[in-house]
Each structure stands twice: as C-alpha cells, then as structure tokens.
C-alpha cells in the first residue's frame, strides 16, 4: 500500500507524528506510560485493540463504494498543515486522537453529552465526537496541545486552572479549558454567569465546577472569589 511500509501501521494509516520535535526523542529515551500506550496504538503492535478502535474490521462494508469525498485531506491543526487519510465516517475526535496522536482531546461519551472532546473550530467550541473530520476541511482546528506558547509556557487559562486547583481527576479539563478559551476570545471580560453558561456544555464528574469558574475569572483578570 505505502511506498515505505514502516511509515504505516497495520491498518494502513500513517504513523502519527508528534507535534513537538522533542517528543519522539523523549519517547525513545524515557518511555512514560502514556508514551508507551501511544506507541502501541501508533505501531499497531496490538492488532486487536486497533481493530477495536476502528470498529469495522470485518463483516461491515469495510471499503465504501467509490464516488464520494477524497480520503486524503490536509487539515489545519494547531497552526500546522497535517496530511491525513480520513474515512468518510470518521469523527474529528477519532482523527485527532488516533491518526494525529493528539490525545489531549478526550473521548468521554462519544455522544455529544459530556464535552470532554471539546475543540475549537475557527475559535468556536465544538464537540469533536459529533463532527465529521470531512466537515472541517479548510477550517482552523485547535486542540489543547495548541494552546501553549512557543517555549512551552502555559496559556493563561491553563495557568489559572493550576492556580485555582481547577481539575480533580482531570479527564474533563482539556474540554473545559477549550470552552473557556473560546469564551475569552469572544468575550475577554465575561461575568461569572456568562462563564457558567459558556462552560455548561462540559460535564465534570468530580463536581469541580466552581474551581473551573474561579480559574476562568482569574484568567480574565478578574477576582476569582466565588460569588455563589
């Protein structure tokens, strides 16, 4: 299928390339648990888990009939052009996590009911689980990985989340942060109520809502003290 088979995994998908050049070096020298898991997904060493992720390994119409959209896309993700082979039925969350290695975008419910997969499309908070990747061609896609500065400094919302002890388990945090960043770009000085509404599409099972709101208010340069 590919010119150099080592560039592709067992399913024929391109190897994810990590955003920052240091990461792949880091992975080879110091294999953290996260890097190890990412590596397994990327290399396809665990065939069964890859088939699980992409579901339709047998029985289904694995190959769609010709005539629809071109599968090879160029996506604008975090300011970079990313070339990727995208199935017609693939959600943006799948592409980001399993093709581009951007696992900061979480999949919670996969039904548009939790907000863990929130990313920005042209600065607008959007559920990546409920968007086809083909629907966001030519749009600007921004994930949690794209927020940090050129030297790794945290985005003001990320820093405020730390300062206000925003996350507990942290699973919903990337989505909460993307919703907050989207809010502050449209409305840099929101009221606490406006922030509450802006984050209302993001569930937190730990119930850390007030901490998240404190962080948004701090990032907006306002008093973080709860008025509740």
Q: Which residues bind other proteins (CB under 8 A)?
A: 52-56, 60-65, 67-69, 87-91, 94, 107, 109-113, 115, 118, 124-127, 129-132, 134-135, 179, 197-198, 200-201
CB of 6 to other proteins, least distance (A): 25
Closest CB to other proteins among 23 and 192? 192
Contact call for residues 173 and 181 (beta carbons, < 8 A):
no
CB of 109 to other proteins, least distance (A): 7
Cβ partners under 8 Å of residue 185, min gap 6: 123
3 state DSSP class of 54: helix
Please give the distance of CA 203 from its chain centroid, rounded to a whole number: 16
CB of 150 to other proteins, least distance (A): 29
Closest CB to other proteins among 6 and 61? 61
Closest CB to other proteins among 29 and 61? 61
CB of 138 to other proteins, least distance (A): 10
Contact call for residues 53 and 98 (beta carbons, < 8 A):
yes
Judge residue 112's burial from the number of C-beta atoms within 10 Å of its C-beta, 0-12 exposed, 13-18 middle, 19 or more buried: middle
In the block, which residue shows the tokens 């099972």? Answer: 205
Closest CB to other proteins among 82 and 134? 134
């Amino acid at each position: 299928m590919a010119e150099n088979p080592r560039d592709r995994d067992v399913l024929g998908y391109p190897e994810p390339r990590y955003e920052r050049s240091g990461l792949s070096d880091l992975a080879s020298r110091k294999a953290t648990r996260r890097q190890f898991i990412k590596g397994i997904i990327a290399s396809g060493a665990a065939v069964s888990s890859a088939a699980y992720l992409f579901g339709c390994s047998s029985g289904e119409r694995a190959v769609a009939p010709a005539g629809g959209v071109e599968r090879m896309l160029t996506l604008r993700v975090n300011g970079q052009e990313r070339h990727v082979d995208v199935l017609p039925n693939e959600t943006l969350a799948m592409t980001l996590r399993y093709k581009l290695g951007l696992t900061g975008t979480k999949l919670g419910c996969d039904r548009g009911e939790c907000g863990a997969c929130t990313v920005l499309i042209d600065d607008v908070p959007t559920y990546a689980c409920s968007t086809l990747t083909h629907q966001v061609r030519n749009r600007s896609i921004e994930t949690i990985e794209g927020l940090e500065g050129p030297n790794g400094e945290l985005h003001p919302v990320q820093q405020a989340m730390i300062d206000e002890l925003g996350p507990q388990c942290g699973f919903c945090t990337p989505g909460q942060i993307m919703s907050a960043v989207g809010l502050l770009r449209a409305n840099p000085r929101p009221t606490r109520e406006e922030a509450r509404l802006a984050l209302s599409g993001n569930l937190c099972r730990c119930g850390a809502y007030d901490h998240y709101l404190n962080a948004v208010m701090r990032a907006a340069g306002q008093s973080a003290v709860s008025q509740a």
